[in-house]
Amino acid sequence: MKYVAEFRDAELVKRSAELIRAEVSRPWTLMEICGGQTHAILRYGIDELLPEEIELVHGPGCPVCVTPLEQIDKALALAALPNVIFTSYGDMLRVPGSGRDLFSVRAAGGDVRVVYSPLDAVRIASENPDKEVVFFAIGFETTAPANAMSVYQAARLGLKNFSVLVSHVRVPPAMHAILGGEHNRVQGFLAAGHVCAVMGYWEYPPIAARYHTPIAVTGFEPLDLLRGVLDVVKLLEAGEVRVVNSYGRAVTFQGNRPAQDLINKVFQVCDRKWRGIGNIPMSGWGLRPEYAAFDAERRFDVSAIQSEESPICVAGQILQGQLKPPQCPAFGTLCTPQHPLGATMVSSEGACAAYYHYNKADLLSEVKHG
């Protein structure tokens, strides 16, 4: 496939790993922020190729995992209402709220539909004028433009039966929270290439400078990931603190301006709770007052729903890179994708699910012939 297969070339991958090996003189701990990258790393076994001095820890960039429990409980309450068509990205259906998930709401008669694009939800609203259509607008900067577009379009079409339950999160404040945390181990960052394709990376030089941590904007294919690792390792070894763009074919410094303009037109920065981590100031987006009519929390009066999670759930430590999934006592035994104890085991981008699906280290060393 064009622009994909080339970046999975086995020979080039091996050579890239050798280049990294040649640069490394001591141990370094790097974090890839994005759950999509965590999955690519484990799916291709990139961690196996790296020299042992390099430790990759996995960040909180799984939008499903960090959506707070109370937003999910609000979604479940909305989806169960008789006149509501509740629309969502597919991943969210499996995430547990307090005792239920969207699958069970659907099985009990709720009209829950998976959409591939929020604009499909707008279409469903215009085709069903006698129903209320709610879209679960979650995700990072990657989904924000399309989610903003759905509200913008609904406003332009004058739709009175469309609303969004917003739980948007932003990456840079999470990087502040991780690097400023008292247990931080991260020495270099692989910034999420898809987020930067939208937002650019103008927000990152102040973060690098403040925490003295080099950052490489990194893509998702094996060669992209190794290039990001190589660039950060070079900076670390040279004692340089900068932001480099290791994903130049998709990312510019300024990012996608029309997309950013659309986000800013519809959303404004707000504080946001992250599941497993807690409140991070300025880390979310909510609807601007001029679009308040599209706020499902106001329309259906679910804003009173409050749910609290235990502060000792280890998913939080995993999302902050302090623990790796196999270090959790429940990993792979009591907690599996079939019987998840936490959202990190549920989502296709969650770190625990990635370890479980791709990388049971104890099994991989055991291949025996005949």
Partner 1 sequence: MAETMKTSLEGMVCPVPLQHQERIVQGHGSGGKLMHDLIAKYFVAAWDNPMLNAGNDASVIATQGAARMAVSTDAHVVTPLFFPGGDIGRLAVCGTVNDVAMLGARPLYLTASFILEEGLEIATLEKVVASMHAAAQEAGVQIVAGDTKVVGKGMADGMYISTTGVGLLAEDTRIHGAAAQPGDLVIVSGSLGDHGIAVLAARGELGFDTDLESDVAPLNRLIAEMLEASQNIHVLRDPTRGGLATTLNEIARQSKAGIVVKESALPIKPAVDAACELLGFDPLYIANEGKLVAVVGREDGERVLEAMRKHKYGKDAALIGEVVAEPAGRVLMQTLIGSHRLVDELMGELLPRIC
To partner 1, the closest distance from the beta carbon of 52 in angstroms equals 15
- 126-134, 168-176, 201-209, 359-367 -> range binding partner 1 (CB under 8 A): 359-367
Q: 270 to 309, contacts with partner 1 by CB under 8 A?
A: 309
19 is a site residue for partner 1 (CB under 8 A): no
Q: 176 to 195, contacts with partner 1 by CB under 8 A?
A: 194
13 is a site residue for partner 1 (CB under 8 A): yes
Q: 30 to 69, contacts with partner 1 by CB under 8 A?
A: 36, 42-46, 48-49, 63-64, 69
To partner 1, the closest distance from the beta carbon of 162 in angstroms equals 19
- 3-11, 19-27, 200-208, 287-295 -> range binding partner 1 (CB under 8 A): 3-11
142 is a site residue for partner 1 (CB under 8 A): yes
249 is a site residue for partner 1 (CB under 8 A): no
Residue number with CB closer to partner 1 (96 or 214):
96
Which listed residue (10, 82, 239, 289) binds partner 1 by CB under 8 A? 10
To partner 1, the closest distance from the beta carbon of 221 in angstroms equals 10
To partner 1, the closest distance from the beta carbon of 240 in angstroms equals 29
- 109-117, 250-258, 282-290, 294-302 -> range binding partner 1 (CB under 8 A): 109-117
What is the residue whose two structure tokens read 């999420």? 192
Q: Which of 255, 284, 67 is nearest to 170 (CA)?
A: 284
d(CA 142, CA 170): 10
368 is a site residue for partner 1 (CB under 8 A): yes
d(CA 54, CA 246): 18
Q: Which of 75, 27, 20, 34 is nearest to 55 (CA)?
A: 27
Q: 69 to 108, contacts with partner 1 by CB under 8 A?
A: 69, 89-101, 103-104, 106-108
Backbone torsion region of residue 140, taken as left when φ is above 0, otherwise alpha when ψ lies between -120 and 50, otherwise beta: beta
Residue number with CB closer to partner 1 (272 or 299):
272
Residue number with CB closer to partner 1 (173 or 340):
340
Residue number with CB closer to partner 1 (22 or 108):
108
222-238 and 10-23 are packed helices; what angle lies between their axes, rounded to 10 degrees?
A: 10
Number of residues in the chain:
370
53 burial via Cβ count (<10 Å: 0-12, 13-18, 19+): middle
d(CA 282, CA 144): 15
DSSP state for residue 1 in the 8-state scheme: -
CB 279 within 8 A of CB 273: yes
Contact partners, residue 175, CB within 8 Å, separation at least 6: 33, 189, 191, 204, 207
